[in-house]
Structure 1
Amino acid sequence: MVVAGACVPRPPEERASLSPFKPETVRESVYRFPLPADPPTLDPAHVTDTVSDSVMKRLFDGLVRFDTELKIAPSIAESWIVSEDGLTYKFFLRKDVEFHNGRVVVSDDFLYSFTRILDAATRSERAQMLFLVKGAREFYEGKVKQVEGLEAPDEHTFKITLAKPYAPFLGVLAMTNFCVVPREEVEKDAEGFAQHPVGTGAFVFSSWDRDNQVVLKANRKYFRGSPKIDVLVFKITPDENTRYQMFMNGDLEHTDIPFGKMAEIMRDPTRAAMVHGVTAMDMYCYGFQTQKAPFDNKFLRLAFNYAVDKESVIKNILESRGEWQKTYVPPGSFYFKQDSAGYPYDPEKARKYLARAGYPGGKGLAEVTLNIDQQQLSRQIAQQVQEDLRQIGVKVRLEQTDWATFLDRVYAGEPSFFQNTWLADYPDPDNWLYVLLESTQAGAQGNITRFAHSKFDHYVRMARQTVDENERAYLYGKAEDVALAAAPWLLLYWRKNLTLVQPYVKGLTITAMDRTPQLNNTPMDKVYFVSGKAPD
């Protein structure tokens, strides 16, 4: 999506200072890619964050992948067969895929990579995502010596057998965690592999200068075709305003847009034409600890939802870089509750629910603490929510902590009202309704609100075991009706991943599973530069 803006003339000297790129950059096939932090790891078994994932998406491949329309597409597996009962997956591997060390990939490499994740000694944060594989949990717990449901019957066939059907399984396999790694490289230096990774991807690891940059070079033997750029340099730049200035100086090929800059950008037609992006499967809302007073009361949760003016947040704080969240599942997958009204801003209805909760006019309700991270944007949003709730008689105190401390406390169930964000791991309702709200997922596994509802659990458990999409959609609709009535979240908005891209950069396709500036799902092997001069 290209966003255009109105033309407002700028003084010549100001326009010159904001020149979007240097002409000589075009002649180099070096893509300078911003990251907001240093990657914690470059080992697929341990990736849980978007920063690490952004680098690893270019280094590794799995059996399948998501295309730019978020459909399952072949990767190292050129085809596959799923049994009618949904239990057996047989993948047929390409014969021309090589690791970066020159060795050809065979089915035993996938057998090793999946078994490694399930080995308790690896301590993979994603091991539980394979527990539906037959014998996986028993292997993880040390009860058996191999995983019954993982087989390599020949060099180019990899077979997975599940204990019970799991409809989103192919989407899960497209996650970076389940990419193939070479056993000899891991065992050569188990700890060091995360700093010197060897994969099969479009780019080959070259160097890593901590907190400065990660350098990858084009894999000219890549099985899906040689990349069009020679070098991919990830620039570690934590400050969004610094990233923006680097982009305007011609030192980055793309960047996110700092809050407060959108109006300025849209007044300049040159820069407005560089804005690309879509509404992403990327949520920003608040969660309630539903097992702890006072938010074990659904009427209080409903009161909070109707009290907040989401459209004002989107227009005045986000500069329209968001879409009002009316559902618990984002648009973009086979199921979406298009007709949901969500919780429209209605202070009178909020006051009625507050009274029904036992707190007429807020009387008797102690001051509520809202826990958020340390970002300026998080505080701005929280301040409006604080004011909206004050209007119905609710006092809210804001508490900001660093991200690691915030997560530890939320996972432990300590805060009662807190920031709740999520970027899709795979574009399926299961990643939202089951992972984030099913009762057995309570805590760090995803359900940080501790929401527990027997009917909801029944619907989402049935949906993940049902192969027919129409039946799954019906079950998810029933589950979402339960969630909307119970209100375990204070719904706010879906983010738009609007990104500034230099005009000479072509082939950069931003998807609904991308967060900017990380652009995890964007295929960088398709990106190329064209010659030209930026408009004055």
Structure 2
Amino acid sequence: MLTTVIFFAALALSSCNPPPSSDEAAERVMPTEPLKEAIYRFPLPADPPTLDPMHVTDTVSDTVVRRIFNGLVRFSTNLEIVPDLAESWLISDDGLCYKFFIRSGVNFHNGREVTAADFLYSFTRILDARAASEAGDVPSERAQMLFPVKGAQTFFEGKADSVAGLETPDKHTFIIRLEQQYAPFLAVLCMSDFVAVPQEVVEKDWKGFAQHPVGTGPFVFSSWDRDNNLVLRANRDYWEHEVKLDVVVFKIIPDENTRYHAFLNGDLEHTDIPFGKMMEINADPKRRSLVHGVTAMDMYCYGFNCQREPFDNKLVRLAFNYAVDKESIIRNILEERGTLQETYFPPGSFYYNEASEGYPYDPDKAKAYLEKAGYPGGNGLPEITLNIDQQQLSNQIAAQVQEDLRQIGIKVRLERSDWATFLDRVYAGEPSFFQNTWLADYPDPDNWLYVLLESSQFGAPGNITRFSHPQFDNLVRKGRTTVNEAERARLYEKAENISLAAAPWLLLYWRKNLTLVQPYVNGLTITAMDRTPHLNNTPLHEVFLER
């Protein structure tokens, strides 16, 4: 995020300017001075923990990495799987062999042409725990997602010298062979972890690659001033088409109100909407016309560490779920920018559990569960610490949850930390009760029920609640290897009913990614797999500015 001196005047944020009045703001959506380059000022709520694709597990890192790198395939704005660096592919009738045909003439940002060997290296690197250790790094958090590949787990465990299921018969053909059918495999390959990285750059400085990435994407890494800004420049050799933006500056602005006023001052091209501002926006036709977005496959809930007291008791977890008035949160804090979460998998795919009612607000039922758990009126229950990030919205939601739980005798203390610290602690299993957010990596139940709740996924791979249930595990594992969607749906319904009964999460809401976008921004398409202000899956290389 290191920006050069030439940009400072153009990129000054509202922290350097007094917030405009409401009337002034309606007129000041345009910068007061023209910018010499097509610069897109992109807000992020935190610094990315990493820019190394193999370590991306969070939305902040993901949104930057997706602009620098390309994979074999990607999602369109309609969430369909479309070609990326693989111009086409073939899947064998038995579903065990995937043959990808790599585009010719595509170069890394260092000028070298991409070949199938780069994907062989990149996939192998994700699985190479030994090489990571020798470089002073840790293994990829996503390695297990490649375990369906033939020989992948054996290689990961150090029992083989190569991954048997990865082949490059020629310069432009990459073959992946699976141990067994893996229904969502092609969708998994759309994730930002499974992109092409240049071996010669990585191995020159393995750990440094996370701070100075080199990819093939529409934007080239330029500089990074930590906790301030991160600068990308257009890749003028991009294979798909000309990139119309010249520069993307990711501005690290933790406070949503600061982001909002920066947008109104004309210092950002888009932003999220702070709580308490929707009424103000809706009252102003000009400002209301700048709102874009959809209901996303994006969850905001809380997680319980199911291996630690008192949350190793499902009765306590159920009591917490029934004690919280989620509709009040949606109505009064979110201002209707969310829909009630009643399931563990969102709508938008071949499976959705429409019959589930979740955990409707019922303080009496919550008290009954608490008494049945051995804590009548909360007596005997220690003070609970709720860990959240530093976003103001997170704090407001936590305050209402804290009050709702107090009403049934549960004392809750709030603890806030920066995003990277929060993630590290949650992955390590330290907190007992914590914010649990998830934006779909791919629109399939596997990405929620397997990745987030199957017992082999503890910690950074996804299961941060450390929920473990043998029958649930068997169902979601079978769901991965079953191709027929109707049968998969039946398996996932059984699995989801188990999770609903066990309550490893405190369900809250599905987010609407409503975003303020400047009127001169064109070609910005917000998808159902976007969180705001991150806009992870929005194709930024399609955007152009017309002032």
Give the TM-score of the pair, scaled to structure 1.
Answer: 0.90
Is 2:488 aligned against 1:472?
A: yes
Partner of 2:412: 396
Q: How does 1:511-522 map to 2 (within 5 A)?
A: 511-522=527-538
In structure 2, the partner of 1:54 is 63
Counterpart of 2:353 in structure 1 is 337
Decide whether aligned partners of structure 1 residues 259 and 150 sit closer, same or farther in structure 2, where only a CA change above 3 A counts. same
SS of the aligned residue for 1:114 comes to helix
Any idea what the Cα deviations from partners look like across 1:35-69, whole Å, max 9, x if unmatched?
23333333222323322222221111110001112
Q: Distance in 1 between matches of 2:43 and 2:418?
A: 22
CA distance in 1, matches of 2:37, 2:445: 42
Q: Pick from 240, 256, 259: which aligns with 1:224? A: 240
Deviation for aligned residue 1:17:
4.6
Structure 1 equivalent of residue 5 of structure 2: none
Specify the alignment match of 1:106 in structure 2. Answer: 115
2:24 to 16, 26, 31: 16
* Residue 295 to residue 134, structure 1, CA distance change in 2 (3 Å): same
Q: CA 1:29–1:375 in 2, change beyond 3 Å: closer, same or farther?
A: closer
Q: Distance in 1 between matches of 2:216 and 2:534?
A: 20
Partner of 1:306: 322
Counterpart code for 2:53: P
Residue matched to 1:448: 464
SS at match of 1:178: coil
- Aligned pairs for 1:401-420 (under 5 A) are 401-420=417-436
Summarize the Cα distance change of 1:192–1:306 in structure 2 as closer, same or farther, 3 Å threshold.
Answer: closer
Equivalent residue, structure 2, for 1:260: 276
2:438 is the alignment partner of 1:422:
yes
In the TM superposition, what is the alpha-carbon distance from 1:75 to its structure 2 partner? 0.7
Q: What do residues 432-475 of structure 1 show as CA deviations (whole Å, max 9, x unaligned)? A: 11111112222333222222222211110100111112211111
- TM superposition shift of 1:521: 0.5
Give distance in 2, aligned partners of 1:431 and 1:181: 24
Q: Compare 162-171 and 412-421 and name the one that shifted more.
A: 412-421
The change in CA–CA distance for 1:502 and 1:409 in structure 2 (over 3 A counts) is closer
Distance 2:46 2:322 in 1: 36
| Segment drifting more, 50-59 vs 474-483 | 50-59
User: CA offset at residue 102 of structure 1?
Assistant: 2.9
- Give the equivalent residue in structure 1 for 2:395: 379
Matched, 1:322 2:322: no
Of 446-455 and 407-416, deviating more is 407-416
Instruction: Name the TM-score, length of structure 2 as normaliser.
Output: 0.89
Quick one: which amino acid aligns to residue 205 of structure 1?
Answer: F
Q: Does 1:152 align with 2:168?
A: yes
Alignment correspondent of 2:510: 494
Does structure 1 conserve the Cα–Cα contact (< 8 Å) formed by 2:75 and 2:82?
yes
Bigger drift between 419-428 and 188-197 goes to 188-197
How far apart, CA to CA, are the structure 2 residues paired with 1:16 and 1:399?
A: 37
Q: Is the 8 A contact 1:288 1:418 kept in 2?
A: yes
Residues 371-380 or 269-278, more deviating:
371-380
2:331 partner letter:
K
Q: CA deviation at 1:364?
A: 4.4
- The equivalent residue for 1:3 is none
Percent identity at matched positions?
Answer: 72
1:161-218 Cα shifts (integer Å, max 9, x gaps): 1222221111221111111122233334434433333221112233334443333232
Q: Which stretches in structure 2 are left out of the alignment for 5+ residues?
A: 1-19, 133-138
- Quick check: 1:21–1:247 contact (8 Å CA) kept in 2? no
Q: SS of the residue aligned with 2:527? A: coil
Give, as a single letter, the amino acid of the residue that structure 2 aligns with 1:41: T
Structure 2: how far apart are the matches of 1:361 and 1:238?
Answer: 38
Q: C-alpha displacement at 1:319, in angstroms?
A: 2.1
Does the Cα contact within 8 Å between 1:26 and 1:504 map onto a contact in 2? no
Q: Which amino acid aligns with 1:459?
A: L
Distance 1:230 1:465, change over 3 A: same
Q: One-letter code of the match for 2:512?
A: K
Give the C-alpha shift of residue 487 in structure 1: 1.3
CA distance in 1, matches of 2:198, 2:290: 40
- Structure 1 stretches lacking a partner, 5+ long: 1-11, 532-536
Distance across 2 between alignment mates of 1:308 and 1:212: 37
Cross-structure match for 2:228: 212
For each residue in 1:215-257, what CA deviation from the matched residue of structure 2 results, as whole angstroms up to 9, or x when unmatched?
Answer: 3232333222112223222223333222222211112111122
Q: Which moved further from structure 2: 469-478 or 420-429? A: 420-429
